[in-house]
Structure 1
Amino acid sequence: MEVKYLSSPIEIQGFSVVTNNHAEFSSQGKIPALWQRFDNAIPVNYKGGERVYGVYFNYESDHTGDFSVLAGFDGSSVPESLAIERITIPSGKYLVFSKQGDMPQIAIDAWSDVWSYFVQEDTQRRAEYERAFTVDFEHYVNGNHIDVYIAIK
C-alpha cells in the first residue's frame, strides 16, 4: 500500500445502489447484481483508454453504516436510452491497496487488506492513517490489476 494524492477529480458515470457491509456479507448483497447490470449495459472502450471504477460514497457513518456504490467508467460512449448517474471522485489524499491476479479474487483480496489495515482490534497496533469516509474507489487498471483508493484524513 502507498499514499497517493489525486491531483485532478475524475468524472465517472454508471449505475448505483445503496447497501451496507452486513448485507454484502450475507445473501442480501446488491453489488454483484449492480456489476452484472453495468457489464450488460455499458460498452466500455478499453482499447480507447476507458477504464472501469467502483465508487463508494454517501457514507452514513463508518464501515458499519449504509453507503452508495456506483459501478461505472470514465468514458462517454453511453446509449442515450440509459438512465445514467454521474459522480465526481474528488482530488485528495488516498491510501492505495493494489492487487494483481484473477478477478474477482483480487478485488476480494484488496478489500481484505483494507479491512485488515483499518479495522484492528489491538489498540496497540493503530493504523497510521484514518479513513475519511467521503469517497473511496476501485480502479480496474486492467483485467488482472485493481487499485483500491481509500480516502484518508
Structure 2
Amino acid sequence: MEIRHISEPIHIKGFSVQTNNEAEFSQHGKIPGLWQRFDNTISVDYVSGERVYGVYFNYESDHAGNFSVLAGYDGKKVLENVIVESITIPSGKYLVFTKQGEMPQIAIDAWTDVWKYFTQENAEYERTFTVDFEHYVNGNHIDVYIAIK
C-alpha cells in the first residue's frame, strides 16, 4: 500500500445502488447485479484510454452503515437512450491497496487488505468515509483508493 494524492477531481458516469456490508456478505448483495448491469449496458473504450471505476460514497456512518456504490467509467461520450448518474471523485489524500491477478478475486483480496489494515489498533491512517474508489487499471490490476485524514 502507498499514499497517493489525487490533484484533479475525476468525473465518473454509471449506475448506482445503496447497500451495506451486512447485505453484501449475505445472499442479498446488490453489487454483483450492479456490475452485471454496467457490463451489459456500457461499452468502455479501453483502447482510447477509458477506465472503469467502482465508487463508494454517501456513507451513513462507517463500515457498518449504509453506503452507495456507483459502477462507472471516465469516458466522455454521450450514451444514447441510457440514463446514467454522475459522481466526482474529489482531489485529496488516499491510501491505495493494489492487487494483480484474476478478477473478481483480486477485488475481494484488495478489500480484505483494506479491512485488515483499518481494523488494527495501531493503524497509522484513519478513514474519512467520504469517497473511496476502485480503479480498474486493466483486466487483472485493481487499485483501491481509501480516503484518509
Show CA shifts across 1:56-85 (max 9, x none).
000000000000000000002342211100
TM-score if structure 1 supplies the norm length?
Answer: 0.96
In structure 1, the gaps of 5 or more residues are: none
Specify the SS of the correspondent of 2:99.
strand
Alpha-carbon contact 1:94-1:151 (below 8 Å) kept: yes
Q: Matches of 2:28 and 2:7 in 1, distance apart? A: 37
Question: How many matched pairs?
Answer: 149
Counterparts of 1:122-137 in structure 2 under 5 Å?
123=121, 126-137=122-133
Partners of 2:22 and 2:111 in 1: CA distance = 15
Task: State the TM-score, normalizing by the size of structure 2.
Answer: 0.98
Partner deviation per Cα, 1:86-128 (whole Å, 9 max, x = no partner): 00000000000000000000000000000000012xx4xx200
Instruction: Please list every run of 5 or more consecutive structure 2 residues that lacks an aligned counterpart in the other structure.
Output: none
Which secondary structure does the structure 2 equivalent of 1:47 belong to?
Answer: helix
- Aligned Cα RMSD in Å? 0.7
Q: For 1:108 and 1:78, locate their aligned partners in 2 and report how far apart those are by CA, in whole Å.
A: 31
Report the 3-state secondary structure (helix = DSSP H, G, I; strand = E; otherwise coil) of the residue aligned with 1:95: strand
CA–CA distance in 2 between the matches of 1:53 and 1:96?
Answer: 14
Counterpart amino acid of 1:141?
A: V
Pair 1:29 & 2:29 matched: yes
Report the identity percentage: 76
What CA distance in whole angstroms lies between the structure 2 residues aligned with 1:38 and 1:77? 15
Partner secondary structure for residue 107 of structure 1: helix
1:1-153 pair list within 5 angstroms? 1-120=1-120, 123=121, 126-153=122-149
Q: Counterpart amino acid of 2:127?
A: R
